[in-house]
Amino acid sequence: MDAASGEERGTTERVLALLGLLQQRQVWTGPELAERLGVTPRTVRRDVGRLRTLGYPVHAGQGVGGGYRLGPGQELPPLLLDDQEAIATAVSLLVGAGGAVTGAGDAALRALTKLDQVLPLRLRHEVRALSGAVESFDGGRTPVDPEVLMTLARTCRDAVEAGFDYPSGTALRRRRVEPYRLVASDRRWYLFAYDLDRDDWRSFRVDRMTGVSARTWRFNPRTAPDAAAYVQEGVASRVYSHQARFLVHAPTATVRAQIPASAAVVRPRGDEQCEVLSGAANLDAVLLHVLLLGHAFEVLDPPDLKNRCHTLADRLRAAGTPDVAGH
């Protein structure tokens, strides 16, 4: 049994070594691979078959210039990275996730979370040191500490409670949460979590967190609302003292292209209409913003905003009417 296990482990190591060679160069001849691996060409052919079974599209060409080549497949199989390649990949993902990289940041964080599961401990300090030496002057998303993002991503992945200090009025208060998702907006990162002290769902701006740590308690995930929708509604509406809803007579896709996701929630209401939910400290600003979209619309809520429409309309008409008596 031990001999069989040792033989299987030797085959696995040899197949991984073959994969590493195929990823280094475009074409290898059979004899070249056999010499590098210390085996016969027949063994190389068998190992190539094993890679194909695992989903790696290894092509074999005949004649002059022929040989084994690793080609693109229908799906993305695992990559084999050496230490330096793993460090470079992790640093690039950290910079993409933690910096002001709009759009690619959430994908970078998902990829980094997967890489984090298999990254050897001996490489982590090198990744941290190199990522700390990279700066960006690009605009867009508010930069956050990539280590904070990784800590929160791990707690979401492993269903482990998190703790952090967060502003509450003029003071910082320690929060204990069950983290569920990290959500990227066009400007900021948010943590969607269940607040254990307030017994309710909350979203937190990652750039406002300090003292972030993973706790030792695991939790059983609750039935959660849609994280992205919850965070977007909070950013666009709930954080403001006043909220308003409008029925806009234009297709949803048209209106979504006109309003940033952080400014309003746009919901479909048939093919030619949509509902817009937004908030502000002063609803005149929201009203004028919807007006300037250039579509017919109706005020749904709050009722007194309809009266405000008439007041502002009278004021605009007066501003556009010539003063006959003065001329």
The model scores a pTM over 0.75: no
Task: Provide the pLDDT confidence category of residue 10 given band limits of 50, 70 and 90.
Answer: confident
Q: What is the pLDDT of residues 135-188, one digit of tens each?
A: 444 445 677 777 788 788 888 888 899 999 999 888 899 999 999 988 877 677
Q: What is the pLDDT of residues 59-118, one digit of tens each?
A: 888 766 568 988 876 555 666 777 777 777 776 676 666 554 445 566 677 777 777 766
What does the mean pLDDT of the chain come to?
A: 81
Q: Angle at the Cα of 232 (from 183 to 165), degrees rounded to 5?
A: 55
Rounded to an integer, the average pLDDT of 208-233 is 89
Q: What is the pLDDT of residues 275-303, one digit of tens each?
A: 999 888 888 888 888 999 999 999 998 98
Q: What is the pLDDT of residues 13-36, one digit of tens each?
A: 888 888 888 877 778 889 999 999
pLDDT score of 263: 82
CB 77 within 8 A of CB 56: yes
Decide if pLDDT at 54 tops 70: yes
